[in-house]
Structure 1
Amino acid sequence: MPEIGEVARIVHYLRKHLVNRTIKSCQGFEDNIVYGKVGCSADEFSKAVEGRTVTGAGQQGKYFYVTFDRAPHSVMHLGMTGWIKFSVEETGYYKQAKESTVVEEWPPKYMKWLIKCDAEKVDGQDREPVEVAFIDARRLARIRLVDCDADKIRDNSPLKENGPDPVIDKHILTVDWLAALLRRKKVPVKALLLDQANISGVGNWVADEILYQARIHPEQYSNTFGDEEIKRLHDALTSVCTTACETLADSKQFPEHWLMKYRWDKGKKDSNVLPNGDKIVHLTVGGRTSAIVPNVQKKTAAVAGDVDGDEQDDRKAKPVKGRKRKSKADQEDEDEEEEVLPAKKDRSKKVKAEKAEVNGDSAAASKKTARGKKVKTETAEDADAGADVKTEPEETKPAKGKKTKATPEKEVKPATPGSRRSSRNKSG
């Protein structure tokens, strides 16, 4: 998902194509999540923006804002898949700023608003007409209006509830400030970095890069670090975030020694290594998949839990605090796929196969009873017990499913003596 560097890229293009221009028209597309979750509406946004002159654009971590010649102004968040597109230039960071002959579809899909500006002369320069679109396929973005003076926008919600930005707030985010933050909390250090209430803009891959360069294990508790380790963490935090912003998230410009260049081959043992041969492993910290290099990132004090990397079941490694913290941070940090889903699917197939063997006398009844919670639970437990289940199918008691879901009551009454239903009635 877009992190601090990608948001810096958006702000760069907003300043290039929109600042100091008058908005001729703004068409908002109603979305009760993207707008409604933050107390706004597409109609309110359109009326507030249309006819206004854009005076500035800026960011604080993962949030960015556009200010106008008068209030209200707009503060936005890209969520997981949000982006700002321009009709005159391709801005996607994944394109590596490379010239392309492919003409992109316009207007784009999944628009939340579409702004149009006429050709005009600004500061003695001719500026061509431009259309700007906010898109978001997954609807996790947020668009809101903030009624305040333009220079006070960071003193109002939602920006005031977020921590300092590692790039624009270097005068605040000092070594001493970071040391005090770490020592007054007891959470895994990666979870602390991902919490936007602590520090703005750090997402999953950025946090992994910071911790790798600082030679710190992501699970180590935040209150266990010495002065030297805190200084390394501060230097890496500032350096990684600054480089990501200055390069506008163009990964081709990232240093070759960065972990980010090699971390994406999860599960590929031959390729999931650094150029020097050090292995990259993945584990779950604070509910998020983390890439680490064990040869570099050693545990030097208490940690949230010892995990064996790729061989550990991610479900067992998720701490409760991490899940609460994730929801507190506006759902913005979901850029890694969990390993749990494939495991669940495989287990489901296994249970269904065993169920078919247990009730092989009636394929139709087996399909229906497999949906019953009680039968499914008993089958899963039997699967753990071993092969005894296949030799004694009566113990799984699938007839309850017949009574409640598969076979009407009146069809069961003429059942002959000795059937499974009759046996249970007699014993009861």
Structure 2
Amino acid sequence: MPELAEVSRIVHFIRQHLVGKTLSRVQAQHDDIVYGKVGTSADEFEKAMQGKTVVGAGQQGKYFWITMSSPPHAVMHFGMAGWLKIKDADTYYYRTDKPQDKEWPPKYWKFLLETDGNPKTEAAFVDFRRLARIRLVDCPADEIRKYTPLKENGPDPVADPELVTEKWLTELVTRKKAPIKAVLLDQANISGIGNWMGDEILYQGKIHPEQYSNTLNDEQIQDLHKALHYVCSTSVELLADSEKFPEHWLFKHRWGKGKKNQTAKLPNGDKIIFLTVGGRTSAVVPSVQKKTGPITKDVTEDETKESHPSSKRKRETPLKEESDSDPEIEKVSKKSGPSKGTGRGVKLEDSEKKASPETSGRRRSTRLRTK
């Protein structure tokens, strides 16, 4: 699932290629899940975007938006495998040589945008799993974060550094009694942190992911706060390009190399093990991330021998573990009827039910970029 860093990459490309341009052509593909689940329709999206000028783009965690010259505005979430492609631009955070990835329009598109001017820009929102969400929010552009779904989510460490203070973090972790990894993944607490970012933050902070958050001491919370801002700001500055990530990051080594069933290790020989915490598989370095308080369970010898993925392009989690506690990720098997549109957008007073985590299927490949 695209996390804070990957979404920031797309916002960067929207600002670079779409902001300041008028949409001369908008096509939206009917989808009563991607649009309908959040009270919008493809027809409404087309009418709302057609002929308007893109004036800005923004982000809160895993959500991002495109602000138009007049309301409503488009607010989007990639779900598990959604993405925004811009023709002739390297928007992806990993490289691919598949011929089908260069087709235009791309497969599984949900909307296509074309700007006026010369040269024109063409963009496409794609999602083959239909777990992404596209909605219209009818409000002033500078008030989007006061509306659903953004108002239900926690602060963004990069967008809201003045809110994500050490004092704020102390109050958050001490009032919770849950594994610290689960606390970080809950989007109602902090926006944007997913599986790999949560693991990296905890590794850099030298904190075991299973330890209950309310047992962290002052020094650990201070280290967690520093690691949180360091990992988030660095990955965003690098536009989620993992080739440029620091060599000492766990990310560089968690995916594993070499033969199948060979134990994952850091360059210094420290073993990397894999535990299920907060519904996700967590990469942990026991020699660095010590247990200093109560945890959900002890690490067994069998778990320390767990094998790592054999390829960079393979995911590190079991197939059944998909959710980062995002309210937008729903069960694919759920057969609910289409939602009715709400005219020009979602109003402040509208409420939305939180959906169940998606529990089956296969995710897109990891974020390692292959040459």
TM category (shorter chain) comes to 0.7 to 0.9
Counterpart residue number, 1:230:
221
Report the Cα offset of residue 243 of structure 1: 0.9
Matches within 5 A, 1:141-220: 141-220=132-211
Give the secondary-structure state (helix, strand or coil) at the position aligned to 1:132.
strand
1:57 aligns with 2:53: no
Deviation string, structure 1 residues 315-356 (Cα, Å, up to 9, x no partner): xxxxxxxx9x95553328879999xxxxxxxxxxxxxxxxxx
Identity, % of aligned pairs? Answer: 58
TM score, norm. by length of structure 2: 0.81
What displacement does 1:95 show? 2.2
Of 290, 296, 301, the residue aligned with 2:293 is 301
> How far has the Cα of 1:179 moved from its partner?
0.2
Gaps of 5+ in 2: 307-320, 331-356, 363-371
- Post-superposition offset of 1:265: 2.5
Q: 1:289 aligns with which of 257, 281, 292?
A: 281
Distance 1:49 1:205 in 2: 34
Q: Equivalents in 2 of 1:215, 1:250: separation in Å? A: 24
The amino acid across from 1:176 in the alignment is: K
CA gap of 1:69–1:196, structure 2 versus 1, over 3 A, is same
> In structure 1, what is the Cα distance between the partners aligned to 2:360 and 2:277?
12
- Return the structure number with greater relative CO, CA threshold 8 A, min gap 6: 2
**Aligned equivalent of 2:106:** 108
* CA shift for structure 1 position 88: 2.8
2:106 & 2:294 partners in 1: Cα distance?
Answer: 50
Correspondences of 1:309-324 after superposition (within 5 Å)? 309-310=303-304
Q: How many pairs align?
A: 320
Which of 230, 242, 248 lines up with 1:239 in the alignment? 230
- 1:233 and 1:336 map into 2 onto residues whose CA distance is 32
- Deviation above 4 Å: which 4+ runs of structure 1? 100-103, 266-269, 325-328, 332-338
Distance 1:196 1:101 in 2: 36
Once the two structures are superposed, the pairs formed by residues 239-278 of structure 1 within 5 Å of their partners are 239-265=230-256, 268=260, 270=262, 272-278=264-270
Cα gap change, 1:300 to 1:334, in 2 (>3 Å): farther
- In the alignment, what sits opposite 2:40? 40
Inter-CA distance 334–297: structure 2 relative to 1 (3 Å threshold): farther
Indicate if the aligned counterparts of 1:288 and 1:336 stay in contact, CA closer than 8 A.
no
For the structure 1 residues 336 and 174, does the alpha-carbon distance in structure 2 shift closer, same or farther, using more than 3 Å as the test?
farther
**Match of 2:207, SS?**
coil
Q: By percentage of residues, which structure has more helix?
A: 1
- 2:18 is the alignment partner of 1:18: yes
Question: Does the CA contact (< 8 Å) of 1:197 and 1:329 recur in 2?
Answer: no
Amino acid at match of 1:60: Q
Segments of 5+ residues of structure 1 without an aligned counterpart are 121-127, 313-322, 339-428
Q: Deviations over 1:382-423 (max 9, x none)?
A: xxxxxxxxxxxxxxxxxxxxxxxxxxxxxxxxxxxxxxxxxx
Change in 2 beyond 3 A, CA 1:103/1:38:
closer
TM-score, normalised on structure 1?
A: 0.70
